[in-house]
Amino acid sequence: MDSQRGASPFSNRDFRLLFGGSSISMVGDQFTLVALPWLVLQLTGDPAQLGLVLAVMALPRAAFMLVGGAVVDRMSPRRVLLSARSANAVLAGLLAALVLAGSIQMWTVYVLAFGIGLCTAFAYPAGGSILPQLVAPNQLQMANSMIMGMRQLSMLIGPALAGLLVTAGSAGSAGVHGTGLAFVVDAVSFLFSIASLIAIRIASDRDSRAPAGNVLAQVAEGMNMLWQDVQLRSFIAYMALVSVLVMGPLQVGLPLFAKARFHEGAAAFGWFMTANGSGMLLGSIMSTSITRLVRGRLGVMILGFDAAAGLALATLSTVHSVVSGAALLVLAGLLAGTVQIAIISWLQRRVPQAMMGRIMSIVFFTFLGLAPLAAALAGGLLKVISLSELFVGAGLSLTALAMICLTRPSLRAIRLQTVSA
């Protein structure tokens, strides 16, 4: 990889394959994210059933995430990701076939939703572990920016395309034909990712060493490595608190905020989500330049940006204009997107490749496991406090936490080595 120093990640054949296959698959994922809730509502008309389906999907993802990280380290991220994507293609294909044949039933929706959640428990740590084996260390931040920027772009364009397909495909039919076509698109998109992963070769594919210990012992080994690394331990603890203080309240609070305060209702919520996604896309693009501007002082940048994001969140409670709310969410998204890329790049450089899957699984579990729990707690809290108080409390708590952590050298001293343009 030394020969790649200073070159664009796109000069690397394997990265081009990963980026191309993943980009198509990311757009395809949005079709299922739109079609699955719509299918449940078409079949039952019951929001409670929809919530249960989403919970059935989230449960295996949280329960098996740490095991998934250990499996990645035992096998290889490419092989695990290839297996997960292949299983996803089969599940999406089954959904499509059952819907188009008119034989879909709710029990099969639950079973397939569980399978999709189980696949993501292995796909997330594998996806976070494969990149350091494809590109040089000095290319990681730019490569992460490209992939995560594409993910944000897919979240902006994918739902709109999926909505058009579901609506147009269902016109004049039994009402679910378009939903079935959306699952077809997702299943086909996985085939592109599978083909790219088959063509990619990484170093861990050639490592024939027998893994020591069983999967649970390796999970414990990853936890021990995390505990002994003071900066890593402090960072994970900080991100867990951010997930509880911010991610949970935002998940439950933002749609309620749009509904309660703006006559545009769902349209306002859509604008807010688009604004936040656009900000994150911009932050992903700017992350490398901003990190270079602060000379790699990653800890200071993260805490400073989080303190500002907390103030933006608290200010959101005072707005009565969709434009003003969207502007604040663009700012919050830009700060979050910039930080996210720098964080992942720092982790990928700091963690030994042999432990990458396990540490990445802990990182993803911090977000994907704690945020839904925090959302449930925030929903219960709204029975005793107002929506404005929820936003103000969450925002100011984040700002206070970030300012306190600026006094702690274990976080403030985190640095990311930068390279010249």
DSSP per-residue string spanning 240-283: HHHIIIIIHHHHHHHHHHHHHH-TTTHHHHHHHHHHHHHHHHHH
Helix (H, G, I), strand (E, B) or coil at 57: helix
Give the per-residue pLDDT at 2.
Answer: 43
**Mean per-residue pLDDT for 385-414?**
89
**Mean per-residue pLDDT for 30-41?**
84
Does 212 score more than 70 pLDDT?
no
Distance CA 181, CA 166 (A): 7
Residue 3 located in a structural domain: no
Does 175 score more than 80 pLDDT?
no
Distance CA 171, CA 183 (A): 17
Residue-wise pLDDT for 98-144, tens only, equals 999 988 899 999 999 999 999 999 999 999 899 888 888 888 888 88
pTM confidence score: 0.80
Residue 2 located in a structural domain: no
177-199 vs 77-100: helix crossing angle, rounded to 10:
160
322-350 vs 230-242: helix crossing angle, rounded to 10:
160
For 267, other C-beta atoms within 10 Å of its C-beta total 12
Residue-wise pLDDT for 78-102, tens only, equals 999 999 999 999 999 999 999 999 8
Do 394 and 325 lie in a common domain?
yes
Looking at 211, 229, 248, which one is the last position of a domain?
Answer: 211
Do 298 and 198 lie in a common domain?
no
Do 151 and 185 lie in a common domain?
yes
User: Distance between alpha carbon 195 and the CA centroid of its chain, in Å?
Assistant: 23
Which domain does 188 fall in, by range?
A: 8-211
Do 91 and 235 lie in a common domain?
no
Distance CA 331, CA 301 (A): 15
Percent of the chain whose pLDDT exceeds 90: 28
Nearest CA to 301 out of 275, 336, 277, 250 is that of 336
**Torsion over CA of 34, 39, 45 and 47, rounded to 10 degrees?**
-50
Looking at 151, 178, 211, which one is the last position of a domain?
Answer: 211
Do 223 and 298 lie in a common domain?
yes
- Considering only 12-21, 152-161, 275-284, 325-334, which range has the smallest mean pLDDT? 152-161
Give the per-residue pLDDT at 195.
Answer: 95
Percent of the chain whose pLDDT exceeds 70: 92
Contacting residues for 230 by C-beta, under 8 A, at least 6 apart:
410
Looking at 211, 232, 252, which one is the last position of a domain?
Answer: 211
CATH number at residue 264: 1.20.1250.20
Distance CA 198, CA 343 (A): 29
Residue 256 located in a structural domain: yes
Residue 421 located in a structural domain: no
pLDDT grade for 174, boundaries at 50, 70 and 90:
very low
Residue 26 located in a structural domain: yes
Do 161 and 14 lie in a common domain?
yes
Do 170 and 261 lie in a common domain?
no
Domain total in the chain: 2
Q: What does the DSSP assignment read for 287-307?
A: HHHHHHHTTT-HHHHHHHHHH
For 90, other C-beta atoms within 10 Å of its C-beta total 15
Q: Give the side-chain half-sphere CA count within 13 A for 62.
A: 14
The 8-class DSSP code of residue 131 comes to G
Give the per-residue pLDDT at 200.
Answer: 92
